[in-house]
Structure 1
């Protein structure tokens, strides 16, 4: 069961909508980035584009979208790693 959980864990971090401008990348944790953070590149990239714009702009809406993607991935990972009752 643990091996199955670990294999499924990686899949929870795949999201085809994480990088709308880069169709080749879909991993929420690891991908090329333009921001300064080493993980969550979609969020890092969105924040680096939005930080000099006005609040409420389209760039900040993208930051909120990226936060939602990260939260969904983390919740999926937590659910995947929950202990499973042995049969």
Structure 2
């Protein structure tokens, strides 16, 4: 049971849409690190780009998208860690 939960926990952080330009990366928590932040790199990179161009609505749409991907991943991980009734 614990191994299954650990596998589901890791799987919760996989999202093929997290890095649309990086086809080989799909892990939301640890991915291609192009910024100085080591966790949630997609969200960090989107926020960094939004700070550079604050008046561009497209960059803020990217921030919202990356934030929703991160939230869904954390919610999925929390659901994977819920207690499982054993038989």
- The question of a shared fold, defined as TM-score above 0.5 by the shorter chain, is answered with yes
Tell whether the 8 Å contact from 1:34 to 1:48 is kept in structure 2 after alignment. Answer: no
Task: Tell me what 1:83 maps to.
Answer: 83
Tell whether the 8 Å contact from 1:33 to 1:41 is kept in structure 2 after alignment. Answer: yes
Q: What is the DSSP-based 3-state SS (H/G/I as helix, E as strand, rest coil) of the residue aligned with 1:67?
A: helix
Q: How far apart, CA to CA, are the structure 2 residues paired with 1:29 and 1:22?
A: 15
Q: How far apart, CA to CA, are the structure 1 residues paired with 2:31 and 2:48?
A: 15
Task: Tell me what 1:22 maps to.
Answer: 22
Does residue 63 of the first structure (1) align with residue 63 of the second (2)? yes
Structure 2: unaligned runs, 5 residues or longer: none
Structure 1: unaligned runs, 5 residues or longer: none
TM-score calculated relative to the size of structure 1? 0.93
TM-score calculated relative to the size of structure 2? 0.93
> 4+ residue stretches of structure 1 with deviation over 6 A?
none
Tell whether the 8 Å contact from 1:43 to 1:63 is kept in structure 2 after alignment. Answer: yes
Aligned residue-pair number: 87
1:27-75 alpha-carbon deviations (Å, 9 max, x no partner): 0011122222110010011111111223461001100100000000000
